[in-house]
Structure 1
Amino acid sequence: MNKATKLPTILVFDSGVGGLTVYHEIKQLLPNNHYFYCLDNAFFPYSEKTEQQIIDRTLLICRKLVEQYPIDLVVIACNTASTVVLPTLRQHLPSHISIVGTVPAIKPAAKISQTKHIGLLATKGTVKRAYTEALIKAYATDCQVEKIGTTELVELAENKLRGDSVDLGKLRNIIKPWIELKQLDTVIWGCTHFPLLENELKLCLPQVKYFVDSGKAVAKRVKFLLEEKAYPTTAEMNHNQQNLIFATAAIGNIFGFNNMMQRYGFSELKYLD
């Protein structure tokens, strides 16, 4: 199969399962491509790690996968990582591999907000990054921007996707500073895990009209880059390759995880050394 007819292989990477929200948007737009998903659960959560640790770890894992498999495009489906790792990946991975990051959707949130009072709900790392502050200064100077940085919410989302119920009391405690902010009409999901808690967050923040994330924008960027390289984005032939999911440590709650794999269309779980 030559390049003109080859369906591209896309690697979606995150510290946990939150990046599946981005993968879902890409797969909806490009359903016939070949997908790998990798979660670095041995190092989860990234929000508790230093910037250099995140850079080193992400490069190490992406290099391993790129050396073993013919990957055409890498999506870093993690805001915490994307705010620091993209230049390093573009420098050290083969030049033919496109790199797409996921960063807080501050620009569209500032545009859509009617009250100009918006909230950034993200990890501790993303909230304090200079990259994030630069986005706010560039696109949201006319807005009042509230910030909550949390690791607990990431863990609640991970557990929910594996089949556990969400503790609404704990969730409300995390977002307590926003509950009485009546003018807060827009919230940015600054972590790919948080759309997994959409229903629960809407219950806790009924005044918020808009919840904004980067998933659809990332999917459109992936489609654009593949078309630019002349890869087909729709299949005219059967594609027999299996979509695989990789982990860096043993997976707990196997029953729930297997259900999740089936739901997202993955045929096999593999472990990276």
Structure 2
Amino acid sequence: MRIALVDSGIGMLSTAAALHAARPDADLFLSMDPDHMPWGARTPDAVIGRALAGARAAWDAAGGLDAVVVPCNTASVHGLARLREVFEPSVPVIGTVPAIKPAARSGGPIAVWSTVATTRSGYQRRLVETFAQDIEVTPVACAGLAEAVESADPREVADAVSYAAGLTPGNVRAVVLGCTHYDLVGEEIVGALGQDVALHTAAHAVAAQALRRVGDLPHHGRPGRVRVLASGRPAELPAAALTYPAGRSLMAQGSPARSL
């Protein structure tokens, strides 16, 4: 089983770790794009181009793929349709949607933490109108949080989390993490908001959907390999990734993240 994950940076780690835990025999191709990140500030056409480039680089490196996973809200919004035109029906393409629907089932009030661009987007507004129209929803633009997570600088992370927490009403009991980078600092977010706040992320749901779409491919009896591409080049897993549990888990169980 060969699965590509396409994102600008290490925000893909939580989804990659969920896939690795569910199918430790799968070969994962982490196609990052450090030369052009962050994608959120780019035009839709540019995001589409970068997502396609990342998926094609993984295809070439793997010699074919069984699935393309896009663990990035920005790339899913802008690039999913084009990726599906290119790869489906032979290769399923799975995108990421903020977990607003399951969070709304808690009855509210809820907050949606997202990047500044996603917070302003019609995409997020439509999700709220569709799945949470009858409850109180506070959009929180988390300025700088994704970049702080990418840097793995504890002080920058703490400052960005504190800023977003200050914009979150005190009565909120569920928070949707609308950027996969935020999954990596879930403990810090809960600590800033209080232990009674439930976090809703998409990583495990996306991993489960990817495996459903791939189907029941046989296990090969060996640990899967984790391979990394940096803007198409063979690379090592970034040092910042290893500061997070999801990144460290990819180094365990005989599946070192090494260059191709």
Whether TM-score is above 0.5 comes out as yes
Letter in 2 for 1:46: W
Select which of 26, 37, 48 maps to 2:30: 37
Aligned pairs, number: 251
Partner of 1:154: 146
In structure 2, the CA distance between the partners of 1:141 and 1:150, relative to structure 1 (3 Å rule), is same
Q: CA deviation at 1:267?
A: 3.3
In structure 2, the CA distance between the partners of 1:141 and 1:219, relative to structure 1 (3 Å rule), is same
Counterparts of 1:54 and 1:255, CA distance in 2? 25
Partner of 2:91: 97
Q: CA deviation at 1:201?
A: 1.0
Counterparts of 1:41 and 1:78, CA distance in 2? 14
Partner of 1:218: 206
Counterparts of 1:106 and 1:257, CA distance in 2? 27
Which deviates more, 120-129 or 183-192?
Answer: 120-129
In structure 2, the CA distance between the partners of 1:259 and 1:130, relative to structure 1 (3 Å rule), is closer
Counterparts of 1:94 and 1:138, CA distance in 2? 27
Partner of 1:246: 229
Partner of 1:123: 115
- Residue 182 of structure 1 pairs with residue 165 of structure 2: no
Q: CA deviation at 1:124?
A: 2.2
Letter in 1 for 2:250: Y
Q: CA deviation at 1:70?
A: 1.5
In structure 2, the CA distance between the partners of 1:252 and 1:170, relative to structure 1 (3 Å rule), is farther
Counterparts of 2:196 and 2:60, CA distance in 1? 45
Letter in 2 for 1:172: S
Counterparts of 1:12 and 1:92, CA distance in 2? 16
Counterparts of 1:120 and 1:57, CA distance in 2? 26
Partner of 2:134: 142
Any idea what SS the aligned residue of 1:193 has? helix
Partner of 1:70: 64
- The gaps in structure 1 that reach 5 residues or longer are 1-7
Counterparts of 1:183 and 1:254, CA distance in 2? 38
In structure 2, the CA distance between the partners of 1:45 and 1:9, relative to structure 1 (3 Å rule), is same
Q: CA deviation at 1:82?
A: 0.8
In structure 2, the CA distance between the partners of 1:200 and 1:176, relative to structure 1 (3 Å rule), is same
In structure 2, the CA distance between the partners of 1:112 and 1:269, relative to structure 1 (3 Å rule), is farther
Letter in 2 for 1:129: S
Letter in 1 for 2:140: I
In structure 2, the CA distance between the partners of 1:42 and 1:137, relative to structure 1 (3 Å rule), is same
Q: CA deviation at 1:109?
A: 0.4
Counterparts of 2:5 and 2:238, CA distance in 1? 21
Structure of higher CA gyration radius: 1
Cα deviation, 1:120-161, whole Å, max 9, x if unaligned, reads 11112322332222211111011111112235100121122x
- The gaps in structure 2 that reach 5 residues or longer are none
Select which of 197, 203, 209 maps to 2:185: 197
Letter in 2 for 1:57: R
Which deviates more, 199-208 or 103-112?
Answer: 199-208
Are the aligned partners of 2:250 and 2:257 in contact in 1 as well (CA < 8 Å)? no
Runs of 4+ in structure 1 over 4 Å off: 249-263
Q: CA deviation at 1:30?
A: 1.6
Q: CA deviation at 1:253?
A: 10
